[in-house]
Structure 1
Amino acid sequence: MGRTATFDRGDVVRAARDVFWSRGYAETGIGELEEATGLNRSSLYHAFGSKKGLFEAVVAAYLEEVVRRRLAPLQRSDAAATALADYVAEMREAIAGGSPRARSGCLLINAACGPLVDDEPELRAIVTRYADELREGVARGVAAARPGLSEAARAPLAEAVASLVIAALAIARTDPDAAVRSLDAVAPLVAGWRA
């Protein structure tokens, strides 16, 4: 009979998340995961099946604890007029303020640019759903911020804003100043957009 796990799965996933987030999937070694989580290789493999299994658990937790928490005010059917501006300001502050996680960019966008996505259709599907959630949230935020615009005018504006946000998240790791400039471009773009 096997031993009962004596660790908190959530704590292990969060510790591994920080390593994957800062180093990337391909660059993260199992030794780094052992050190960060306090578990040995066999315990990690027993609990998660593989490094990829641990990464999948990390991605699922990241979506719930980080991404959806930030997107929630945007995704409400009655989103506040300031929801988009608040979302962008929160991201800007995290990146400009030097938060180590924010300066590492977005875990999912980083994963989308790595070799794992090519080999893993499940991860590709997760990243695609994330991008869709982001676009939907931004579209609701644009609609709340500019209720007088027609749907035909709002749709390309929402796509442009989502693209600026994704660009900021993608470049935050290598050029946080450029990421901040992308986010700073959102407010004037939304305010000045014409039908």
Structure 2
Amino acid sequence: MKILRKTFLIDDGSFSETPEFDKIMDNIEDAIRAIKNPKESDGFFLYDKKQGSGVKPIKDAFIEKLNTLGWEDETIVQNPSIKKRKIDSSLQLSNGQYFGVEWETGNISSSHRAINRLKKGMLEGDLAGGILVLPSRKMYYYLTDRIGNYQELEPYFDVMGDTAEIKGLLGVIEIEHDGVGQDIPAIKKGTDGRALI
């Protein structure tokens, strides 16, 4: 899996200049690059068909990798304030706050909600920051119809980053597959394709 762009919508420097932030970005990038399809391949490849693959198994592989790195997905996090936010995965920081990451599996409205969930957590002080991971427009072509993608959300970045009240870091990462092929198994839609990743 390739990382095409990292865009920071909010960054006041209070968190992004800390060693913990460097560790967080390393963890997120490692978890993205660890996703393979087919499982035994050296990259992430998609079945060459429009809307031919599901998205949830891809997210599940990302979350499972983060769990091995000490993150807590929404089903295992114990902090009541973070648990109620239903953030895909979060990591507790040394100051008691958390950093959240969301992986898009829904439509563009879901992308807006994910950003708002992270911003609200930052505004209320529970989160030091958050990242939303989105497919590129090119990758979008091969995934579930109407999945939120970077290019579709990009026109709203100036609005999403327009605030003086929120401290911390809020960003978006654009990802893309390594290639396509007719011989690549399609990633099933729903949770039953989980074993393919």
* Fold agreement, TM-score > 0.5: no
With a CA cutoff of 8 Å and minimum separation of 6, indicate the structure with the bigger relative contact order.
Answer: 2
Pair member with larger Rg:
1
| TM-score, with length taken from structure 1 | 0.29
Q: Per residue, is there more helix in 1 or in 2?
A: 1
